[in-house]
Amino acid sequence: MEKIKYPLFVKEDIDGFFALFQNNLANFVVIAITLIRMGYPTSIVYGRIIPGAAISVLFGNIYYAHMAKQLAEKENRIDVTALSYGISTPVMFIYLFAVMQPALALTGNPELAWKIGVAACFLGGLVDVIGSLIGNFIRKHIPRASMLGALAGVAFSVIGAQMFFHTYESPIIGLLSLTIILIGFLGRKRMPFKIPSTLFAIIIGTIIAYTFKEASINQLSEGLSIAGFYPPLPTLAFIEGFKQLFGPFVSMFAVLLPISIYNFIETMNNVEAMAAAGDNYDAGKCQLTDGIGIIVGSLFGGVFPTTVYIASVSAKWTNAKRGYSIINGIVFLIASMFGIIAVLSEIIPLPVIAPILVFVGMSMVVQSFTSVPKRHFPAVVLAMIPYLANYMQSKFANSAPEALEAVSTAIIPLGNGAMFIALIWGAILVFIIDNQFIKASVTSVIAALLAAIGLIHAPKLSLFHDVSYVIAYLIMAVVFIAFNFTSKDDTAGEENEMMAD
């Protein structure tokens, strides 16, 4: 059989590039705008974080192009499409609002907060690497409704709701952008000139913002003034960051563990989707590649994990090969190095971008329900609630503690360790629904241990900060054991009655 020659570039790679480029560009702009509004200086955002992320994107895109060449040669065919790669949108928001924001709020030091973010990113990469070996074991023992429900809580309160508020801060441009996004994604209508919905919303929203003077013309000159040279520089910032993560910020593991697990599961799901489209890549190898790419990015100051995109299938449909992936990595490195992303971030108002994030938050919540059995829907809902408490705590605990207490004295303790609490209650309810009371009891004991050492319901690690929570969870464990031994006949009878009906 004659060996084929897999092309480096074909004209279809142009379509694949623009589809992937606008997705990554939106994420980079959102990152810059959001971090600067939080209080991070431009020197860190444009000088360290953006170039570090670009290095990670370059690494992954180049390697996945190489993997496409390997697959093409192995199967002796040229219709192989490289996997799309970039910053994971859901994970990006978790890192923004559950890592970078609290790190800055609690330290008051942007440099130290950035180092914590670098360490969190490095750790996320390690979890991806380990996940390539034990991912299936973790998926087996943590109920999906528990994990996705916990993330949906963040998506609803911190992403969807908060960004919906920002959308209404400038209703003329915010509501216009939101309308375009909803028509494009949910109404499934094509935008003029086949421009992607997000890009069209950004273009039209920005034009209207300056037309109606919702944005100052000075922003244009300020944005252009930021253009410069921002080379990616290697750093060992993760070392100092680890001292914080394993010290005062150890509670962040409650966020980092589930979102890192989500990240490598997302990679696995997207590789599966690509296999269904005809290109069968090794999922474990892809998870390992993602992990290494994340670590490489963190060694250059990046704070956001990367992953294989679902857009891989879209690229397959356009008949793109590997060229689109290579071009994407190179273009983003150039855009970050010469301040192009910095310029765009300064001239595009937040209310133009916010509606995109509203849609992302909505999508994450919807995905949480569509990815679990219908009987587990209540577990998803219950798991969402603790992070609402965390959101309220983060906004009002310092500025208006009396008002927060007037709503409920439980908001602050429920907000402390919210991700762990969400995982616990989501898992417990799944086990109750599935009549697995021993597992529910074990989960309650784990909750008691977490409360005893201060990982949940306490402002910092401490032994028995509030012993009432420990006692409550232990009582729950006993109740579950009792039901396990006393309600089997009742359950069986009810099941027989349902089958008879």
Give me the chain's average pLDDT, please: 87
| φ and ψ of 85, to 5 deg | -145, 140
Segment 373-414, tens digit of pLDDT: 999 999 999 999 998 998 898 888 878 888 898 999 999 999
d(C-alpha 462, C-alpha 456), whole Å = 10
d(C-alpha 20, C-alpha 308), whole Å = 11
Contact 325, 83 (CB under 8 A): yes
Could you tell me how far CA 95 lies from the centroid of its own chain?
7
Query: Where does residue 182 rank: exposed (0-12), middle (13-18), buried (19+ CB within 10 A)?
Result: middle
Quick one: residue 424, left, alpha or beta (phi over 0 = left, psi -120 to 50 = alpha)? alpha
Find which of 129-133, 201-205, 217-221 is predicted with most confidence, using mean pLDDT.
201-205
From 230, 264, 223, select the one nearest 91 (Cα to Cα): 264
From 344, 365, 354, 295, select the one nearest 21 (Cα to Cα): 344
From 363, 402, 401, 365, select the one nearest 385 (Cα to Cα): 365
Q: What is the pLDDT of residue 249?
A: 80
What's the 3-state SS for 170-204?
Answer: CHHHHHHHHHHHHHHHCCCCCCHHHCCHHHHHHHH
Q: CA end-to-end span of the chain, whole Å?
A: 63
Segment 224-236, tens digit of pLDDT: 777 788 999 999 9
Looking at the DSSP assignment, which residues form a beta bridge with residue 306? 87
Q: Which residue has the higher pLDDT, 439 or 23?
A: 439
d(C-alpha 18, C-alpha 327), whole Å = 10
Q: What is the pLDDT of residue 179?
A: 96
d(C-alpha 495, C-alpha 332), whole Å = 58
Q: Per-residue confidence at 159, pLDDT binned at 50, 70, 90?
A: confident
Segment 108-141, tens digit of pLDDT: 999 999 999 999 999 999 988 987 887 556 656 7
Segment 417-461, tens digit of pLDDT: 888 899 899 999 999 999 999 999 999 999 999 999 988 898 877
Helix 467-486 to helix 488-500 angle (10° resolution) is 60
Contact 414, 457 (CB under 8 A): yes
| φ and ψ of 309, to 5 deg | -90, 150
Quick one: residue 39, left, alpha or beta (phi over 0 = left, psi -120 to 50 = alpha)? left
| φ and ψ of 2, to 5 deg | -75, 135
